[in-house]
């Protein structure tokens, strides 16, 4: 899910209440889900919220302290969905997409060449994202669709994102398998490139 800062703060403040013993577990789940949606599970805030035990004397106050600190970090622009390592990986992916654009502009190269590179860039972006969120398992299919499916399951991308990713994966597969007539339209591959660029930009913060 992609939300702007004001919306994140609005939602966070709406759930920022001190629970009692009867509502603690529900509030803990709500706060954990909120943190995971905003910045993933691989961060100290999510870990802190998870470790608070309902049997602790000051458990409600500790839980409220976590969401207080999280919202303060959001307000100070200290929260990002992307880890430092992933940001470096995103820069590499963007370099690949720039190469794909250069190839697409050169008439001596078939559009399928760019389609393959765009698809590879998208797959790498999705894989790195899934790794960053500790989502990969032995059952995860190492493919664009495999990574997109687990990201959608976690609520990190929406139904429309998944639909577009599936279409892009189809173009990449057509190019990789030599179905040249299906990937010979320059405008179609250019549209693919623009879409993937926008998608990565949307989920790189």
| 90/87 Cα distance (integer angstroms) | 5
Question: For every residue of 11-79, which 3-state class applies, written as one string?
Answer: HHHHHCCCCCCCCHHHHHHHHHHHHHHHHCCCCHHHHHHHHCCCCCCCHHHHHHHHHHHHHHHHHCCCC
Do residues 81 and 172 lie in contact, with contact meaning Cβ atoms separated by under 8 Å?
no
Q: How far apart are CA 26 and CA 107, in angstroms?
A: 59
pTM over 0.95: no
Q: What are the chain's domains?
A: 5-75 (no CATH), 84-202 (1.20.120)
pLDDT-wise least confident of 42-46, 144-148, 153-157: 42-46
The label of the residue with tokens 């207080």 reads 68
pLDDT digits (tens, 9 = 90+) for 130-146: 988 889 988 899 999 99
Q: Is the pLDDT of residue 18 over 70?
A: yes
pLDDT of residue 76: 86
CA distance 37 to 75: 16
């Amino acid at each position: 899910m992609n939300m702007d800062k004001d919306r994140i703060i609005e939602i966070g403040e709406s759930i920022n209440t001190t629970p009692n013993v009867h509502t603690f577990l529900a509030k803990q789940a709500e706060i954990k889900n909120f943190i995971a949606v905003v910045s993933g599970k691989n961060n100290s805030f999510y870990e802190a919220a998870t470790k608070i035990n309902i049997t602790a004397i000051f458990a409600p106050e500790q839980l409220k302290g976590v969401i207080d600190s999280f919202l303060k970090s959001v307000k100070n622009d200290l929260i990002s969905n992307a880890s430092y390592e992933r940001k470096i990986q995103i820069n590499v992916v963007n370099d690949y997409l720039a190469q794909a654009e250069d190839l697409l502009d050169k008439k001596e190269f078939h559009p399928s060449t760019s389609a393959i590179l765009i698809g590879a860039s998208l797959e790498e972006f999705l894989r790195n994202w899934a790794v960053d969120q500790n989502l990969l398992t032995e059952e995860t299919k190492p493919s664009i669709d495999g990574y997109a499916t687990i990201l959608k399951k976690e609520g990190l991308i929406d139904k429309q994102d998944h639909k577009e990713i599936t279409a892009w994966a189809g173009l990449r597969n057509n190019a990789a398998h030599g179905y040249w007539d299906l990937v010979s339209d320059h405008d179609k591959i250019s549209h693919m490139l623009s879409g993937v660029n926008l998608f990565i930009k949307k989920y790189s913060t």
